[in-house]
């Protein structure tokens, strides 16, 4: 490490300056605005006090439940204990700890960019954009799952890409553990490793012979090796979540895989979030039953309206706006026209996404898989701006890749003009 720094002094200075800028922006944000406390945060606060005072793990209720996964509530509980020991308020402490988590996430984004593209310019530009991207600054003021979930998701993706490269069992196992922790913070990432291993299997089956370590390896042998790695990841994911599953069986007398809250699924059945829509009368149905009844009635009675909502409608709602955290005043802008950067990142990523569908053997195709799979999962639930937050580092990396590619082509064109 020391030797690398000596040989890359300018690069090291640039990275250090980016982290200094990122730290200053986050610290300036926390100290210069008044932070809004959201309804979810208030419920989390009640939950933590209930857990500390009564030993009951329950969200929005006084009896034990599994309405939310335990990752963030337990993180908050630990922060409350620390805050009590050192004599400070818990929310400011959580926000400052989230700043440290946010800075650590920048390291992981840099690593993922290098692993996926093998281009240091893409990595450092992605690092810079992530350092100044406003949702990554604003989220630190929100006592919500986003900052912690993003950190563990980036940790999982980095380790999963590393495991694909090394094909070592221990790396696959660690990827499973990190994914398990991620799921315990945000449940929707649970199925993510399955399509990633599926694409990795296809990459191994159809990679050029010049890149194969054993040219004569059969597809069956490759399948067995990849399947073993996938099984190891799945088992370690399960082992990480096992205490949560056991708790639910013992305490609630039922198996809850992630969380039992179903309202986001029902809320997602209202096109354009028009909650006055009464296409179906509830009549005592459960939330799940009512949601399915609405979907059935919607796609049969208002087919085109529901098709648009469950495709471009939800995608547009989710991705065309930035996540503002819990809200704050006055609105913190490190530079003017901040929304333009977000829109540029989102729409410019469409080109590399399409290119990676064509060039699916490239390591960066894994980033496209994550974006596509998570977008498909989002279509099931109510769309919210906050749902784009955890995949935005991947958008930034792919958008930067496109920008660097264009600049390289322009540079090559002028270089040829000079030599002609």
Give the 3-state secondary structure of residue 34.
strand
Cis bond leading into 289, ω under 30°? no
Q: Pick the closest to residue 29 from 132, 105, 129, 130 (CA basis).
A: 132
Q: In the 3-class helix/strand/coil scheme, how is 123-177 assigned residue by residue? A: HHHHHHHHHHCHHHHHHHHCCCCHHHHHHHHHHHHHHHHHHHHHCCHHHHHHHHH
Distance CA 409, CA 77 (A): 52
pLDDT at 257 over 50: yes
The pLDDT tens digits of the residues spanning 283-292 come to 777 888 888 8
Helices (H), 207-276: 219-252, 263-267
The pLDDT tens digits of the residues spanning 360-406 come to 999 999 999 999 999 999 998 888 889 999 999 999 999 999 999 99
Both tokens of 23, joined, read 């730290």
Q: How much is the average pLDDT of 245-263?
A: 89
What pLDDT, on the 0 to 100 scale, is given for residue 262? 62
* pTM greater than the 0.85 cutoff: yes
Q: What are the residues whose beta carbons fall under 8 Å from the beta carbon of 250, sequence distance 6 or more?
A: none
> Which residue's entry shows tokens 């290119």?
355
pLDDT at 344 over 60: yes
Q: What are the residues whose beta carbons fall under 8 Å from the beta carbon of 322, sequence distance 6 or more?
A: 134, 135, 338, 339, 342, 385
Asked which of 206-210, 257-261, 271-275, 368-372 is least confident by mean pLDDT, the reply is 206-210
């Amino acid at each position: 490490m020391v030797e690398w720094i000596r040989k890359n002094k300018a690069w090291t200075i640039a990275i250090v300056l980016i982290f200094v800028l990122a730290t200053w922006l986050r610290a300036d944000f926390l100290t210069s605005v008044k932070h809004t406390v959201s309804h979810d945060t208030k419920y989390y606060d009640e939950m933590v006090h209930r857990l500390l005072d009564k030993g009951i793990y329950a969200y929005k209720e006084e009896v034990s439940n599994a309405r939310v996964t335990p990752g963030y509530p337990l993180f908050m509980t630990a922060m409350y204990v620390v805050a009590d020991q050192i004599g400070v308020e818990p929310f400011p402490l959580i926000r400052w700890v989230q700043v440290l988590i946010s800075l650590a996430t920048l390291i992981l984004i840099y690593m993922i960019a290098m692993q996926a593209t093998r281009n240091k310019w893409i990595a450092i530009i992605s690092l810079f954009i992530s350092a100044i991207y406003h949702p990554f600054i604003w989220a630190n003021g929100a006592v919500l799952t986003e900052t912690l979930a993003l950190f563990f998701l980036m940790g999982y993706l980095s380790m999963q890409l590393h495991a694909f490269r090394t094909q070592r069992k221990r790396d696959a196992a660690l990827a499973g553990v990190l994914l398990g922790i991620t799921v315990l913070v945000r449940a929707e990432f649970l199925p993510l490793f399955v399509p990633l291993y599926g694409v990795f299997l296809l990459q191994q089956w159809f990679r050029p012979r010049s890149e194969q370590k054993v040219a004569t390896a059969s597809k069956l042998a490759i399948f067995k090796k990849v399947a073993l790695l996938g099984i190891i990841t799945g088992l370690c994911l399960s082992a990480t979540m096992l205490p949560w599953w056991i708790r639910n069986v013992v305490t609630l007398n039922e198996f809850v895989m992630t969380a039992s809250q179903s309202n986001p699924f029902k809320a997602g059945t209202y096109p354009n979030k028009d909650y006055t829509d009464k296409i179906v009368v509830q009549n005592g149905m459960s939330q799940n039953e009512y949601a399915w009844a609405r979907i059935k009635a919607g796609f049969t009675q208002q087919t085109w309206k529901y098709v648009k909502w469950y495709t471009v409608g939800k995608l547009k709602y989710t991705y065309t706006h930035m996540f503002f955290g819990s809200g704050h005043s006055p609105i913190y802008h490190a530079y003017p026209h901040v929304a333009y950067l977000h829109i540029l990142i989102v729409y410019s990523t469409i080109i590399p996404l399409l290119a990676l569908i064509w060039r699916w053997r490239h390591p960066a195709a894994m980033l496209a898989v994550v974006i596509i799979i998570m977008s498909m999962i989002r279509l099931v639930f109510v769309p919210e701006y906050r749902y784009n937050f955890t995949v935005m580092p991947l958008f930034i990396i792919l958008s930067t890749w496109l920008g660097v590619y264009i600049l390289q082509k322009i540079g090559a064109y002028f270089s040829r003009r000079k030599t002609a």
